[in-house]
Amino acid sequence: MDVLQAVVEVKTPNVTYILPTQQINIDNVLESYGSNVKLKDIKLSIEITKASEQDTQFMKDIANKGNFTIIVQPYSFSVKATYREDTVDISRFNSYVERTIALPEDVNPSKITTGIVIEPDGTFRHMPTRITVIGGKYYAKINSLTNSNYTAIWNPKKFKDIENHWAKKTINDMGSRMIISGVGDDMFEPKREITRAEFAAILVRALGLKPGIGNNSFSDVAGTDWYCDYVKTATKYNLITGYGNGKFGPMDNITREQAIVMITRAMSMTGLKVEFTDGEKENILKAFKDANESADYAKESLAVCIKSGVVCSRDGELVAPKDNISRAEVATIVQRLLQKSNLIHWCSIK
């Protein structure tokens, strides 16, 4: 079998790590060793280690500061390529790599809100996580594009101003997963419109991407802006392209069609695919009175998101492509993106 199509699975009583070798950027690995090195001469090693007492305490201190609770034993995952005496750490992958960590038997699985990665510098972020049952035992299944220290946490979030809102469960779920945040004093303001910078940040967090990867190519995004690192990462992963004039418009409100285009790009990362029969795209859009108002560049994305179920209409007959999207709508489409990509489980914090 071609090595690039192989799947390596490492399994212990409490942890499983599944690595399709095609997710490794082989060109980068070979480049680090020079042009004369052949793939067959490189050895690949995978290491899974339980966090030491010192590292575990370090992570617990971070959790205390972040007001969340570590529920499962943290583990470190690493993949290394070795040629002769030279070893290269492979820490980034082409798409999501899956790892599962067993939940303690005395832990209620509903008390896991998400998995996180904790970096050596103390920063942490959400990782797409769902609870699964294997052999009668509960596991947190965490998908990530990187390697580092992983654990699962309890981080319940409830916003005060959404008690009777239609998206209450979704908003609280996304808040508990550290994907969306409030606006102070545990308020969410679900009807408020959202900026392009805010949406880029939410999408980066939802996908578990590390902020600050790549470069800033936009003249209207300063290095001191809070959203600069999110824009860098969103650009690196082709989630955003800007207006085409060197500007991103970070403070502009984002329209529904602009958000839908970005969501479609994210679908290519999560592996959520949509196929159409002849004429199906056109028929999907014809079902909505205002679909023809959508920009030409957004029409296909609109059809993709509608068929996938990631995006729903407004009032049954409208898609409102030119309307600004609300914070509640953003929480909803991001949750659906992750659910339909099978990256998070279909439940919410009540």
Pick the CATH number of 3-154 from 1.20.1730, 2.60.40, 1.10.1740, 2.60.220: 2.60.220
**pLDDT at site 58:** 94
**pLDDT at site 2:** 47
Amino acid at 329: E
Share of the chain above pLDDT 70, in %: 97
pLDDT tens-digit readout, 241-252: 999 999 999 999
**pLDDT at site 347:** 55
**pLDDT at site 333:** 98
Place 318 in a pLDDT band, splitting at 50, 70 and 90: very high
Q: Which of 85-89, 114-118, 142-146, 184-188 has the lowest mean pLDDT?
A: 85-89
CA dihedral (302, 305, 306, 311) in degrees, to 10, reads: -100
**In which residue are the tokens 């993949």 written?**
79
Tell me the mean pLDDT in the region 286-297.
94
pLDDT over 50 at 189, yes or no:
yes
Radius of gyration of the chain (CA): 21
Average pLDDT over the chain reads 92
**pLDDT at site 81:** 86
**In which residue are the tokens 């052999």 written?**
135
Of 19, 22, 18, 17, which is closest to residue 3 (Cα–Cα)? 22
Domain segments of the chain: what residues?
3-154, 160-340
Place 41 in a pLDDT band, splitting at 50, 70 and 90: confident
pLDDT tens-digit readout, 143-168: 999 999 999 999 999 999 999 999 99
Structure-model confidence comparison of residues 349 and 198, the more confident one: 198
For residue 67, the SS3 value is: coil
250/256 Cα distance (integer angstroms): 15
pLDDT over 60 at 42, yes or no:
yes
pLDDT over 90 at 317, yes or no:
no
Question: Which distant-in-sequence residues (6+ apart) come within 8 Å of 85 by Cβ?
Answer: none
pLDDT tens-digit readout, 251-283: 999 999 999 999 999 999 999 999 999 999 999
Tell me the mean pLDDT in the region 79-108.
90
In this structure, how many other beta carbons lie within 10 angstroms of the beta carbon of residue 298?
Answer: 20
In this structure, how many other beta carbons lie within 10 angstroms of the beta carbon of residue 65?
Answer: 10
The dihedral through the CA atoms of 10, 16, 20, 25 has a sign that is negative
pLDDT over 50 at 284, yes or no:
yes
Share of the chain above pLDDT 90, in %: 79
Residue 144, strand partner residues: 97
Place 348 in a pLDDT band, splitting at 50, 70 and 90: very low
CA atoms within 13 A on the CB side of 77: 29
243/250 Cα distance (integer angstroms): 11
**pLDDT at site 4:** 56
